[in-house]
Structure 1
Amino acid sequence: METSNQVQTNQPTPFLTEDRKKYFKGLSQGLILTLIITIVADQITNLPFFSIMGIMIIAILLGMSWKSLMGVQTSASVGIGFSSKYLLRLGIILMGLRLNLQQIYDAGLSLILIDSIVIVFTLAVMIYLGSVFKVDKHLSALIAVGTAVCGAAAIVAVSSVIKSKKEFTALAVACIAILGTVGAIIYILLFPVLGLDPENYGILVGATLHELAHVIAAAVPGEAVSMDNAILTKLGRVALLIPVALVLGYMFSKDNKEETTQKKGLKNLPVPWFIFGFLAMSVVNTVNIIPLAVTEVLIDASVYLLAMAMAGLGLSINFGDFKQVGIKPVIVGVLGFAALAAIGPLLLLL
């Protein structure tokens, strides 16, 4: 004869417990909120001027504004965190489909040399300026990476490598958004007086501006030739995100030797696994395993996923967090971009 305790023990546990219901509710709330913000950001990019900023930057600014004006339900933090962490990783992996490594190789040594010089020079100058102005080294590194490699996407990728604070990541993204937008406008205005042919103008734009959206917008005056060279040069910088992340991951891992020696394994590599997923997708695109139509859909999906991650990041911070940082990081960003723009004409001699 079974006892009452045995009968209770043998009963199946319901799949949706109270805790699970709360989790899924918060997950859906946060995901829906970040999706709505991303959709609004996408619509805003159709407006003049805002198209230069791009959907990711607008999404993080909208997220910050929402948090400041409307507030965020505590329960939604689960979904917001999911967007800013897991959707971010998936978006970066799919972003690798933008790269065709064969095209970069075919462009020749000069393109690879230009992009390598840009990245090494910019990182060295801006990290040095950060030390001179006594800016937190994590923040300096993020602003430097955003300037040197590929804007917001590089910042959020490297932020997890060097384990920076959320407010540092948001500030770096905001700084790059403003500088890149201003830079694109300046290039457009200067195009008639620079005296560069469309090919070299495209290389200059692709080598020195921050975001892909900035590059595309600034290349418009030079028409198709400038656009093609600008995008190719820019994607060469994107391809170098992996070695940059490896180097920075190694440098910043030294700050916590005890943790890195105690924890071993794939999960605790100084560079997150999704960086290698980014490389894998680049290889997939290079060898044409996936049909072009599918690739284009996945690239569009990567942009939306990254924008949702940016919205989640914006919803996690406050404008007030920036007050503690001060104006010095912005000065570092301005001086670093000015230095990069100054060596731009020299890069065209290579």
Structure 2
Amino acid sequence: MQVEILQHRILLRGSIQGFILAMVVGVIAHNVVSLPFFCVFGQMVIAILIGIGWRAVMGIPKHATVGINFASKRLLRYGIILMGVRLNLDAIVAAGSKVILLDAAVILLAIVVICFLGRLFAVEERLALLTAVGTGICGAAAIAAVAPTVKANEDETVVSIASVALLGTIGSVLYVLLQSFWGMDSNSYGVFAGATLHEIAHVIAATQSAGSPAANMAILTKLGRVVLLVPVTFGISLWFNFRSVKKEQISGRYNLSIPWFLIGFLGMSCLRTIGLITDELASILLQISTLFLTIAMAGMGLSVEMVMFRRMGLKSLFIGLLGSLAISIVSFGVVRTVHF
């Protein structure tokens, strides 16, 4: 009996240590992102990188895994639910059907192209899919939402998030440098940036110098892609469940991966749209969401071995780069042809 109590105390102490460690890494990331240049990456990606580095250099306590897993899984879902208050569905509908159709086409193109390239170059299926949804929808948040539904491990999740963040950062810099050569008005440039760049931070960075009309249109276009996160994730979940149903029938087990937390995400969006969540409350909830997601990403980083990160990273970067080029080229042609 005393041995069991002692083991319980050791596990509890380790769990607390793991959760506190994830919080510490998250706080460090929050402060680092305030420095010049690092803000483009966003504090969630910075938290992942610091977490990977911490584990490689400092190691983690022996029984800290439970606390780290709580941070990287439970807090992740709570953060995604609260992130729903970012979306005012009326504003997105007001952006117009052309914008929504472009967003949908970008997501479909990213998934088809990157998953095809993944098969062509023998990239792990889940890694290719996560890279595709991160590129096509909204970076880290999309990857974090889809990963549980396809049973992706921490390595695949973290590598795809880091790759998409790096490509989006490079893209935002190139957009600023090339903006004057593209011959777009501010509205069209905003639609183009919002439809093709990966994270909201990348969209803002790429359009600030183009003025408020471009930045506002870019954010609306980007949020249209975020809205589509819900149906796309459910679709992917159903597809993976459908593919595995024969194996489950043979083994006698049925384990459906339904992303219920996205119902909460959509519910928060609806509450914001009908006005039950005020702008002031939405701002507070978004700060809490960012905190939860940053700690969750820190937990993911602390779970990843550097050797695995190196092995998988170049693959994700390569297919993500080609996919990003594809959606940028196609979107550029559409925006130059269609009046938005």
User: Please, what TM-score do these two structures have when normalized by structure 2?
Assistant: 0.93
Q: 2:211 aligns with which of 220, 223, 237?
A: 223
Name the CA shift for 1:203/1:120 in 2 (closer, same or farther; >3 Å): same
Name the CA shift for 1:325/1:346 in 2 (closer, same or farther; >3 Å): same
User: 2:18 & 2:130 partners in 1: Cα distance?
Assistant: 26
Q: Which residue of 2 aligns with 1:161?
A: 149
Name the CA shift for 1:345/1:324 in 2 (closer, same or farther; >3 Å): closer
Report the Cα offset of residue 326 of structure 1. Answer: 6.5
Report the Cα offset of residue 193 of structure 1. Answer: 2.0
Q: Does 1:143 align with 2:127?
A: no
The answer on whether the counterparts of 2:114 and 2:132 sit within 8 Å (CA) in structure 1 is yes
User: 1:300 & 1:244 partners in 2: Cα distance?
Assistant: 25
Report the Cα offset of residue 243 of structure 1. Answer: 1.2
Q: Which residue of 2 aligns with 1:345?
A: 332
User: 2:26 & 2:187 partners in 1: Cα distance?
Assistant: 34
SS of equivalent to 2:122:
coil
Q: Which amino acid aligns with 2:101?
A: L
Q: Which amino acid aligns with 1:126?
A: I
User: 2:283 & 2:291 partners in 1: Cα distance?
Assistant: 13
Q: Does 1:26 align with 2:14?
A: yes
Q: Does 1:100 align with 2:88?
A: yes
Q: Does 1:311 align with 2:298?
A: yes
**CA RMSD after TM alignment:** 1.9
The answer on whether the counterparts of 2:160 and 2:313 sit within 8 Å (CA) in structure 1 is no
Q: Does 1:235 align with 2:223?
A: yes
Q: Which residue of 1 aligns with 2:48?
A: 60
SS of equivalent to 1:135:
coil
User: 1:294 & 1:195 partners in 2: Cα distance?
Assistant: 40
Q: Does 1:289 align with 2:282?
A: no
Report the Cα offset of residue 242 of structure 1. Answer: 1.0
Report the Cα offset of residue 45 of structure 1. Answer: 1.2
User: 1:312 & 1:293 partners in 2: Cα distance?
Assistant: 29
User: 2:50 & 2:15 partners in 1: Cα distance?
Assistant: 20
Report the Cα offset of residue 22 of structure 1. Answer: 3.4
User: Cα deviation per residue 1:235-267 (whole Å; 9 max; x = unaligned)?
Assistant: 100000111111211222234214655555xxx
The answer on whether the counterparts of 2:75 and 2:295 sit within 8 Å (CA) in structure 1 is yes
Q: Which residue of 2 aligns with 1:9?
A: none
The answer on whether the counterparts of 1:245 and 1:271 sit within 8 Å (CA) in structure 2 is no
User: 1:328 & 1:290 partners in 2: Cα distance?
Assistant: 42
The answer on whether the counterparts of 2:163 and 2:313 sit within 8 Å (CA) in structure 1 is no
Report the Cα offset of residue 300 of structure 1. Answer: 1.0
How many residue pairs get matched?
A: 334
Q: Does 1:152 align with 2:136?
A: no
Q: 1:175 aligns with which of 156, 163, 166?
A: 163
The answer on whether the counterparts of 1:253 and 1:260 sit within 8 Å (CA) in structure 2 is no
Report the Cα offset of residue 178 of structure 1. Answer: 0.9
Q: Which amino acid aligns with 2:110?
A: T
User: Percent same amino acid among aligned pairs?
Assistant: 41
User: 1:326 & 1:35 partners in 2: Cα distance?
Assistant: 25
The answer on whether the counterparts of 1:83 and 1:308 sit within 8 Å (CA) in structure 2 is yes
The answer on whether the counterparts of 2:167 and 2:317 sit within 8 Å (CA) in structure 1 is no
Name the CA shift for 1:221/1:139 in 2 (closer, same or farther; >3 Å): same
Q: Does 1:335 align with 2:322?
A: yes
User: 1:240 & 1:129 partners in 2: Cα distance?
Assistant: 23
User: 2:90 & 2:183 partners in 1: Cα distance?
Assistant: 31
Report the Cα offset of residue 224 of structure 1. Answer: 1.1
Q: Which amino acid aligns with 1:300?
A: Q
Name the CA shift for 1:26/1:259 in 2 (closer, same or farther; >3 Å): farther
User: Cα deviation per residue 1:192-232 (whole Å; 9 max; x = unaligned)?
Assistant: 22221111111111100011111111111112111111111
User: 2:313 & 2:168 partners in 1: Cα distance?
Assistant: 20
- Runs of at least 5 residues in structure 1 that lack an aligned partner in the other structure: 1-12
Decide which moves more: 193-202 or 294-303.
Answer: 193-202
The answer on whether the counterparts of 1:87 and 1:305 sit within 8 Å (CA) in structure 2 is yes
Q: Which residue of 2 aligns with 1:322?
A: 309
Report the Cα offset of residue 68 of structure 1. Answer: 0.4
Name the CA shift for 1:260/1:292 in 2 (closer, same or farther; >3 Å): farther
